[in-house]
Structure 1
Amino acid sequence: MNFLWPGNLLLVLVVPALIAAYVWAQRRRQKYALRYASLSLVREALGKGPGRKRHIPPALFLAALFFMALGTARPETVVVVPVQEGTVILALDVSGSMLAEDLRPNRMEAAKDAAKAFVIRQGADVKLGVVAFSGDAQVVQSPTKDKDLVIAAINRLRPQRATAIGRGILASLDAIFEDSEETPPSVIALRRLSGDPTGPTPPPIAKGSDRTATIVLLSDGQNNQFPAPQQVIEDAASRGIRVYTVGVGSADGTVVRIQGRSVRTRLDEATLKQIAEQTDGQYYNASNEHDLRAVYENLSTQLVFRQQHTEVTAILTAIAALLSIVAGALSLLWFNRIP
């Protein structure tokens, strides 16, 4: 536990001083009682005394003072609270197979509806970005707190050819670090894959350790463009970025209807699971539009909770108030007075 105003901790010393004064007062009371010639006469005059009960209200009151004094130092501790800030990149597959009609009205529209519902549920301080990937990948909407811009970007998505999952990951990383003065992650990765190791490389950090940025990647097919996802997973993991992957369709392959034509598609579930595992994310599968909405609702819950330092002055104040009320109630009940 840390304290924002540690100097106020000196007020806690008032409590042991009051305890010492109370003990002194009790001993002084006993000293005067001994002046009577016969203690039996005192007992007969006073009747049965309160005994040890008389110490309970003062003890509770002193405990309340302790918590009040501690609260003035503004203590803070690490607790799990809802996070109202951060960056989430929605990376969406816009390949031609997303027109398949096994989800209503089709995979792309179902994915767009689920993504828009996800956007609406986010906090006002969460920055959201959109990346679309097919034969290539591009940032359709840079991270912004304006939800209307994000929803408009999702509405503009149209189906294209091919599936470039690896490029989708790199474009998402570029969007996350767009304000950084360092070389974009995609440039570093493509330079490395081309055999050119020159240029600065950021020092790696523990996977999943950056809790302020997340990628949610949705795909329904297999990567067929350079680079392969396995070649760029480390670029996300080494920056601490978690990638949650969502698979639409079947890993066994299925024949779907695309604009009146029968086309066989197969979900590369193994790759999506590998991406999630190596970045400390999680993989989800959606076989229908209801599953897809449920996946994004689950992601919404996971992405907005983390540990952070929070001031707990209000909690200590509440404890002090409760102890004071109990002390006063017991004193009135037993002795008809306030301690």
Structure 2
Amino acid sequence: MSLNGYTFANPEYLYLLLLLIPMAVWYIFRHKKQNASIRVSSLGAFKQPYNRVKEWARHSLPVLRLITVVAVILVIARPQSTNNWEKQTTEGIDIVMALDVSSSMLARDLRPDRLDAAKDVATQFINGRPNDRIGLTIFSGQAFTQCPLTTDHATLLNLFKDVKSGMIEDGTAIGLGLATSINRLRESNADSKVIILLTDGVNNRGEIDPVTAAELANTFGIRVYTIGVGSRGTAPYPVQTPFGTQYKQMEVEIDEATLQEMAQMTDGKYFRATSNSALKQIYDQIDQMEKTRIETKSFAKKQEEYIWFAIIAAIALLTEAVLRATIFRTMP
């Protein structure tokens, strides 16, 4: 519940304000029923003349009492400043990570497998770049955006954990994965726009050729870093058999020539990652890139505002007590 720019953590206590109605009615009724204790025909015998202002000022006492009650109720209801979106300017670059999730990414030449190794290193990279806007695209036979560009890295990491092979149709659509990533960056105003594309195979699906997609990236000023993941020679691939999943040594096929061409065309760099540590090289390279100022939105926390109402209650109560003991003191 909100009131004049404030929200209340305990709005149910505001119903206590209804008590003001019977309190006001009771005072008015009591005042009209009051009769003088001593009646005289004239006030001439008294030294001081009748003070009508003081008579009316006496009504300030119940008013102060009502103010105290209102302020105390508002304190109990816990008023808070209204939440607002705040704009902040930070230093960073826009990065989209395009990750291959085809079944071959389950090969175990990297530990525990290629996909989990890529996710672990990428997670460290994200944690080390708090000011960057980072997004995630996954691809195999098809491609889609798992997370758009964001500075909310906690959400991004949670989505990253859910990535697994088999989420979409199997295959390796490198060109489609790159094109989907470009679509997330093409309207970015950042001076530095980067795509980190990681794959372990050869483009065999999708309607978009990888080199054509790289040309499109270059048109939008996007730098593409490509990573070929996999050992040289053979690697243990998971194969489904009547006896369950078994690992068989199969030839590692990575289209390095195409990946190198894609990187060179966009002023990027190609890496061959035969181990987990090799993946770190690309992140070291990105850390040295030029950074640009980007504007982000953050949600401001609620601020407790009860202190002002507590001060008002204390002042009103103290003022009433002083007036009742001095100016408006009554004889017993």
RMSD (Å), alpha carbons: 2.2
| Structure 1 CA distance for aligned equivalents of residues 211 and 282 of structure 2 | 24
| Distance of aligned partners of 1:272 and 1:111 in 2 relative to their CA distance in 1, 3 Å threshold | same
Separation in structure 2 between the aligned mates of residue 177 and residue 236 of structure 1, nearest angstrom: 8
1:142 equivalent in alignment to 2:148? yes
Post-superposition Cα deviations, 1:169-196, rounded to whole Å, max 9, x if no partner, equal 111011113679xxxxxxxxxxxxxxxx
Q: Which has the higher strand share?
A: 2
For structure 2, the residue ranges without an aligned partner over 5 or more in a row are: 1-89, 239-244, 294-332
The residue number in structure 1 matching 2:208 is 227
Counterpart secondary structure, 2:115: helix
Q: What does 1:33-112 correspond to in 2, within 5 Å?
A: 84-112=91-119
What is the one-letter code of the residue matched to 1:235? Answer: L
Q: Aligned-pair distance for 1:306? A: 4.9
Q: Residue 91 of structure 2: SS of its match in structure 1?
A: coil
Instruction: Give SS of 1:130's match.
Output: strand
Whole-angstrom distance in 2 between the partners of 1:307 and 1:84: 5
Distance (whole Å) between structure 1 residues aligned to residue 91 and residue 188 of structure 2: 20
AA aligned to 2:94 is: T
Tell me whether 1:242 sits opposite 2:249 in the alignment. Answer: no
Higher helix share: 1
Which residue number corresponds to residue 302 of structure 1? Answer: 288
Change (3 A) 1:231 1:307: closer
Matched, 1:272 2:259: yes
Match of 2:191 among 203, 211, 215: 211
Amino acid at match of 1:143: L
Structure 2 counterpart of 1:177: 186
Amino acid in structure 2 at the alignment position of 1:257 = Y
The C-alpha deviation readout for 1:24-59, integer Å capped at 9, x for no partner, is xxxxxxxxxxxxxxxxxxxxxxxxxxxxxxxxxxxx
Q: 1:301 Cα deviation (Å)?
A: 1.8
Structure 1 consecutive aligned stretches of length 4 or more whose deviation exceeds 3 Å: 177-180
- Quick one: which of 129, 136, 145 aligns to 1:122? 129
Q: Does 1:131 align with 2:151?
A: no
Instruction: Give, in whole Å, the separation in 2 of the partners of 1:152 and 1:122.
Output: 16
Determine helix, strand or coil for the equivalent of 1:104: coil
Secondary structure in 2 aligned to 1:84? strand
Distance in 2 (CA, whole Å) between partners of 1:307 and 1:127 is: 11
Larger radius of gyration: 2
Gaps of 5+ in 1: 1-82, 181-209, 309-339
The percentage of counterpart residues that share the same residue type is 36
Counterpart for residue 14 of structure 2: none
Q: TM-score if structure 1 supplies the norm length? A: 0.53
Give the TM-score, by structure 2 length.
0.54
Task: Figure out how many residues of one structure are paired with residues of the other and give that number.
Answer: 193
